[in-house]
Each structure stands twice: as structure tokens, then as C-alpha cells.
Structure 1
């Protein structure tokens, strides 16, 4: 009996060791950049009609309020400035700029293992937004978000396998000077993660300080330009169909500094965009095509992400309803348009209207994250942690989102069918003279890690086992994981000499 127990324990231990051993990236069941595109909510005729409508809107309606520098760049390229002050874009100009657009964009991390290849509908999930509150799910309270909260979010995201990039998810409301806030936002994010970082700037004059800081972190301006690890999230339009004058000037400064830009059009269906899902996509596509003309008129081939971010309204109240099925469809339809143009693109998904990480948040986040991934959206922004229709960010929810996105990515990977996976020989060996089950088969053990994704925090035990373990609560487990990560100094922190150089030049609010 003892010998049998020892053999069983040894076998179980060996299987557990094999299961726990880290796999090479190519053998992992999920990884950044899995190819999506299986889900297409728009018919081919619908895609063509949206494209033609967007071209009509640019040619007939155009956009107002471009800055003088933008007017000069775009009219030189072929845009037409009307007597009404609106820039209109002939079809031939748009098609020419589409031909010039950069389609081979890599968003770099400070650590090259976090580089994001945006070709061929490769899918990546990350944070984003400008929440003004931090959500405490234990006390159920919302408070003003701080620079430390932002740094903590970056530190946590750095440790989560399924969060692939960190675009600033919160506003540092304790830094009241806008210049210092923009600079400290860059510092806090980059000191928290070596993944790619996205940020925005309040005024064009604030870009130079951020670039100088990034040159210090990279080691030189040349090193920065070779591998820019921060991009500019730029709301270059004020929907409907107007340029955001100051943001356009920020964009020009970022282009000159070698920083990739996210061309972000964020109309709200029923308010600042047409209420129909197709109409909201048309307007967003038209605005981003205008942005593409702008960027390529300034610097042909500059890395620019096609950021169609239309949002949905609850038409009963006019409030944003980001957790809705309509929002999931809207982002998926945008991804299909990105694929039509063969352009790297991004949209919002995964954020919840729910105020806390509860069941409502779970269904809202999962619905849009899955559809975004299946549609082949290159960059899924706001995919974890975001609540209250972008007003609140929750660190525990960010951690839980890592599990949720893992399951979404498994859906994106899909089902591989080949001679081995149809399993006929395994069935034959099991059913004819075999054990009658597949639990110990070589195929089962082989596929255990390669094809199956296991949650880090979600509980799959039986009710009896759950009771024996003390009835663990999912939120408590996330809070404990948060404390564990934040108890350690961020591995992404800059070396002492670089940090001292940065602090000697700029007012950094985070403690050293």
C-alpha cells in the first residue's frame, strides 16, 4: 500500500512539475499577437458601402478648425480649403495617402520581448483611458486618482502576461500643473513597466520635456528614435468632423520627435456621432482617414495607428453605455474596416458601465473583449480595469482582467484541425484494448499546457474543495495579489544615475 501510494504521488508530482514548467513562447496556448479576424459583423457589401460613404463625407463635408500649419501641410498635399473654412479631401488624395501609409508598424517596449507587431490582424490587449477616480472595491468608494495610483497600475500591468501594453489609464489629479502632470505621467508609466506605453499631452509646448526625458531613459536621442517605446494618444478631432486645433499641434510635435501617434476619433453614437452603428463607423473612419492624410502630409510613412474609437450611448439618457452589445459590435466593425484598409488599428473594448468588479462587469468586459479579439483588432484599448463608463479605474479589476483576457485570447486562437488533433489513432488505442478513458494518454499530457489556458485566480474546485480551502473569494485573492506585487520595487525603475539625471532637470513627484 505504501509503495503504491508512493508511486501515485511520484507520478502526480511529476505531472504537476511538467505542467508548472514554463513553456517556450511558441508552445504557449496564448501569447501576444495571436491572429484574429474570424468574426466579421459587416458583409463585404457593407464594408464597401461604409468606405464609399466615408470618402463622400471627406469630399463633400470635410473637417473644420485645422491649425494654420495643418492647413498648409494638407493643402500642399491636395486638400481643398473652402470659403467656409472647412478642408475637403478629394478621393484621389485619400487613396494616395492610403498608399503611403505605414503598414509595418512595431510598437516597441523598453524590453524588446514586449515589442508589438501590428501586422496581419495580430491582437494585443492593454489599458487606456483617462479615469479621474480610483475604485476601492472593498470599501466601494471612488476617490481622486493620483500619480502613485498610475505608477501602481503600470507596475501591476508589467507583471500580467495578458496585458500587452500600458496606455495611461488614469489622470494624476494630485499634480495640478499640466506641464508637470504630462511629464510625470510619462515618468510614472515608464518607471512601472518595460512594456509599450501610450500617453497624451495637454499642449504642444509640453512635448519637448517628455522627449528629453525619454532620450535620457533610452540613453540618447538616436537610441530613442531607433526604438520609440512611448506613443502619443492623440484626440486630433472633436467629433463631428472638426479638427482639435491644439491636439493637432501636439501631433506635429510628436511626429517631429519620432514618436508614433494614435489617431483617436472618439465620437459618441447618438450624441457626437450618428446613432446608427454603421453611421458611427462611417464618421469615425472618415475622421481617421483625414488624420492619415494629415500625418502623411507632414511625414510620409510616419507610424500612425488608425484609432477608430466610437462609443455608444444609452439613448434613453444619453449616457455612455460602454458595456453594451452595441459597443462590442461597434468596435468589431471598426476592426473589420482596419483590415479592409490593411492598416494597423485600435479601438476601445473591455470597459464596463458597472461601478465595481461584479457580475455585470464580468459580462460587459468579456463580451466586447472577445468580439474585439475575434474581429482581429490589433490594439484593444481599455481592456481591463476600467469601470463606470471610463470614470473609474480599479487595480483589482486589472488583475482579474488578466484572467478574463486569457480566456478571450484562447477564443481568438480558435481550433486547429490536423491529423493529430482529430485524434483518430488515440481513440482507437483508447477504445480497443485500452483503458477506456483519455486521462493518462500521451496526447492529453502533451496538450495539457499547449492547448489549455488555466486561470491564475478564478476558482474551478468542487464545492467541497472550495469549503475545505476556506471558501476563497475572488476579489480577496485579487487584493492579495495586488499587495504582493506592490510590496516589491518595480523592476522597470531606472538605474540610479539615470534617475538622478532626470530628477536634476525635472520636478518628479514620485519618490526616488
Structure 2
């Protein structure tokens, strides 16, 4: 009896050790680039009607406020400037530029292990946004976000398996000079993670300095152009149907500098976009199609992400509803339109309107993250850490979001049906003279890691075990993991000679 107990205990310990050990890439149950596309909120006819409506909007309404350089570029390609100053886009022009646009792209990481292949329904989750505050979970309060907070978010992202890229999730409000803020954003992100980074420029005059820093980090301009590991998140339009003049000038400069571009249209349904889900998608698609014309008139086939980001709005109060079912539908519908055009695309999901990482935040983040993944969205932006409808960012929520996204990716992976998974051999083994259960069978043990996603922080113990373990608190565990990560040296930190060269050339606010 003692021997049997020892064997069972040893088996449990062995299984626990196997479950908690880092998994080799080939047996991980979820990973970057799993193919979604199972969920289709739009019918084929619905997608066609949205496409036709977007073309009509471009042809009849057009976009205002393009910079002089943009007018020259787009009219040179075939756009028509009316007496009202608006640029209108003939259908044939849009179709021609869609034919030139890149259909499969790679977003590089500083470490090639983190390269993201964007095509079809391959799904990747990451951060994004421009939060102005940090969520203090212990004090249940908000404070201004800093460049140190941004760097810490990058370091945490670097350690999370299910956060595949880092787009700047907050602004460094402790750096009042916009040029220094833009440059320190690049520094803070790239010295914190070797995953792909997305950032913005507040002024076209800052782009050259940003590229110079990136050339230093890459080792040379040629090395940067061969593997650009930072993309430009570019709000090139101000909905409804107007170009953002300065952002367009930024876009022209980053394209010349070899930087990938996220064409970002972020209308608010009911305010700066139509209130209906279909109408908001139509406008976002039309605006991004104008961007496709713009980019490919400059550099055909340039690495570009079709960034339709319509947001939901609570029409009773005017508050943003990033955590709503409507938002989830907006994002999933946009993912379908990206596939309709065969273009790499991105949109927003995982946003919480909740102010803290609580139950409301959990349901809001899970709903849209699952639907975005099932719809096959290539780049799921703002998928973790965002609170208060994008006003606040939370390190603990970023860590908890890794668990949420792990479960979302398991849904994306779906159900494999083959001779092994149908399990008739297992049923024969267990039921015909076997133990009568599947616990501990060779098949169960062989697939326990490859088929199942185990939460890092989520607690699945019984109430009795939970009490015996001191009633572990989810947020406290997330805080402890944050501290453990930040107490270790950043794996992405720059070599001393590179760091010294950057600091001699630019004003860097992060301490050494």
C-alpha cells in the first residue's frame, strides 16, 4: 500500500514538473500565427456590398485635407481633385492599386525567432494604444504614465509567450518635448523587447532622427532596411473621410526610410463614423483603401497593414465601448474584409472599459479577443493591458492578458479530427478489460501538453486546496510575477558600446 501511494505521488509530481516546464516549440499547443477564420459574421453578399459601398464613397465623396505632396502623388496615380479640394478615387484606380499591394508580408523582430508572417488568416496578438495613465492595482488609482512604465511594459512583453508584438501602449508623459518623447519611445521599446515594435511620430521632422537611432540599433542602414523591426502606426486619416495632413507627411518619410506602415483608421461609430456596424466598417474600409492608393503610388508593394479600427460608442452617454459585443463584431467584420481583399490586416480587440483588472475586464477582454482570433485577424492590437476605454494601461493586466490570449488561441486552433483524435483505440483499451478511465493512459499523457493550454496564473484548484495554499489572489500573483520579471536583467538590453553611442547622440531619459 505504501509503495502504491509512493508511485501515485511520484506520478503526480512528474506530471506537475512536465506541465510547468517550458515547452519546446514543436509541442506547444498554441503559438503565433495559428490560422483562424472559422467565424464569419458577414455573408459573402454582405462583404461584396460593403466593398461596393466603400468604392462608391471613394468615388463620390472622397477625402479632404491631403497635404500638397499627397495630392501630387495621388493625382499622379489617377485620383481626381475636385473644386471643393477633395480627392476622389475612381474604382479602376482602387482596383489597380489593390493589385499592386503586398499580400504577404513579414514583420521582423530584432530576434528572427519573433518574426511575424502575415497572410491569410494567421493570427497574432499584441499591445497598442496611447494610454495617458497607468493603473495602480494596489491603490486602485490612476497616475500619469512614464517612459519607465513603457520600458517595463516592453520587458514584460518580452517574457510573455502569447503576446507576439509590442506596439507602444502608452505615452511617456514625463517627457514634455515631443521629439525627445518619440525618440525615447523607440529606445524604451527596443531596449525592452526583441519582438516586433510599433511606434508613432508626432511630427515629420522627427522621422530622420528616429531612423538614425534605428540604424544604430540595427548596425547599419543596410541592416535596418533588410530587417526593419519597427513599424509606424500611422493615423493617416481623421474620420470622417479626411486625411491627417501631418501624419500623411510622416507616412511619406517612413516609407522612404524603409519602415513598415500600419494604415490606421479609427472612427467612432455614432460620432465620427456611421452608428451601424456595417456603416462603420464601410467608412473604415473606404479610408484604408484610400491609404492603399497613397502608399502604393509611392512604393508599390510596400510592407503595409490594412488597419481598419472602428470603435464602438455608447449612444446614451458618448462613452467609448471598447469592451462591448458591438466592438467585437466591428473587429471580426473588419477581419473578414481584410481577407476579402487578400491584404494583411489589423484591428483592435481586448480593450476593457473596466477601470481595474476585475471580472468586467475579464469578460470584455475575452469576448473580442476570441472573436478576433476566430475571424482570422492577422494583427490583434490592444489585446492586453488596456483599461478605461484606452485611457489606462496596467502591467498586471498585461500579464493576466497572456492567460486570456492563451485560451483565445486555443479556440482559434479549433478541433483536429483524425484517427488519433477520434480515439477509438483508446476507447477499446480502456473499456475492454482496461482500467475504465483515461487518467494516466499513454495517449492521455502523450497529449497533455500538446493539446491543452494551462493558465500561468489562473487557479484551478479545489476550494480546499485553495484555502490550504493561503487563498492565493490573482492580482497579487500578477504583481509578484511582474516584480520577478523586472528584477531580472532585460534580455533585450543594448550592448554597452551601442547604448553609449545612442546616449551620446540623443537625450535618453531612462537611467542606465
TM normalised by structure 2 equals: 0.99
Q: What is the deviation of 1:20?
A: 3.9
2:163 maps to which residue? 163
Map Cα deviations across residues 151-177 of structure 1 (whole Å, 9 max, x no partner): 011111111000000000000000000
- Distance across 2 between alignment mates of 1:414 and 1:168: 30
**In 2, Cα distance between the equivalents of 1:405 and 1:18?**
22
Q: Deviations over 1:54-96 (max 9, x none)?
A: 0000001000010111111111111111111010000000000
Which shifted more, 342-351 or 6-15? 6-15
Counterparts of 1:396 and 1:15, CA distance in 2: 28
Q: How far apart are the structure 2 equivalents of 1:234 and 1:20?
A: 40
Which residue of 2 is the match for residue 278 of structure 1?
A: 278
Q: Give the direction of change, closer, same or farther, for the CA distance of 1:465–1:13 in structure 2 (3 Å limit).
A: closer
Specify the alignment match of 1:261 in structure 2. 261
Q: Secondary structure at the match of 1:404?
A: helix
C-alpha displacement of 1:13: 3.3
**Equivalent position SS for 1:197:** strand
Tell whether 2:47 aligns with 1:63: no
Cα deviation for residue 145 of structure 1 reads: 0.4
Residues 1:241 and 2:248 aligned together: no
CA distance in 1, matches of 2:69, 2:90: 20
Alignment of 1:423-434 (within 5 A): 423-434=423-434
Q: Write the deviation string for residues 288-318 of structure 1: whole angstroms up to 9, x where unpaired.
A: 0000000000111101100000001100011
Counterpart in the other structure of 2:49: 49
Shift of 1:247: 0.1
**Which residue does the alignment assign to 2:466?**
466
Aligned counterparts, 1:443-454, within 5 A = 443-454=443-454
Q: Distance in 2 between matches of 1:233 and 1:184?
A: 16
Question: Which residue is equivalent to 1:291?
Answer: 291
- 1:36 aligned residue: 36
Partner SS state of residue 228, structure 1: coil
| Cα offset, 1:21, TM superposition | 4.2
Deviation, 1:425, is: 1.4
Residue 486 of structure 1: CA displacement?
1.0
Residue equivalent to 1:9: 9
Rounded Cα–Cα distance in structure 2 between residues aligned with 1:475 and 1:42 = 38
1:302-381 pair list within 5 angstroms: 302-381=302-381
TM-score, normalization by structure 1: 0.99
Q: Separation in 2 of the partners of 1:10 and 1:149?
A: 43
Q: How does 1:485-500 map to 2 (within 5 A)?
A: 485-500=485-500
Post-superposition shift, 1:27?
1.9
**Deviation (angstroms), 1:103:** 1.1
Question: Structure 1 residue 473: deviation in Å?
Answer: 0.5
Cα distance in 2, alignment partners of residues 35 and 175 from structure 1: 40
**CA distance change for structure 1 residues 454 and 150 in 2, over 3 Å: closer, same or farther?**
same
Structure 1, unmatched stretches of 5+, are none
**Cα drift, residue 367 of structure 1:** 0.3
Confirm or deny that 1:122 pairs with 2:122: yes
Task: Give me the whole-angstrom Cα distance separating, in 2, the residues matched to 1:438 and 1:243.
Answer: 61
Deviations 1:97-152 (A, max 9, x none): 00000112100000000000011210000000000000001101100000000101
| Cα separation, 2, equivalents of 1:372 and 1:99 | 26
Q: Which residue of 2 aligns with 1:400?
A: 400
Matches within 5 A, 1:72-221: 72-221=72-221
Larger deviation, residues 10-19 vs 232-241:
10-19
Q: Secondary structure at the match of 2:42?
A: coil
User: In 2, Cα distance between the equivalents of 1:324 and 1:223?
Assistant: 43
Structure-2 change in CA distance of 1:154 and 1:15 (3 Å): same
**Distance in 2 between residues matched to 1:167 and 1:6, nearest whole Å:** 50
Deviation per CA, 1:252-301: give whole Å up to 9, x if none.
01000000000000000000000010000000000000000000001111
Partner Cα distance (1:34, 1:116) in 2? 11
Secondary structure (helix, strand or coil) at the match of 1:3 reads helix
More deviation, 224-233/17-26: 17-26
Q: 1:117 aligns to what SS in structure 2? A: strand
> Is 1:457 the equivalent of 2:439?
no
Instruction: Please state whether the residue corresponding to 1:171 is helix, strand or coil.
Output: coil
CA–CA distance in structure 2, aligned partners of residues 12 and 60 of structure 1: 68
Residue 314 of structure 1 aligns to a residue in which SS? coil
Distance in 2 (alpha carbons) for counterparts of 1:25 and 1:474: 27
Unaligned runs of 5+ in 2: none
Q: CA RMSD in A?
A: 0.9
Q: Using the alignment, how far apart are the partners of 2:23 and 2:355 within structure 1?
A: 37
Map of 1:420 onto structure 2? 420
Displacement, 1:441? 1.1
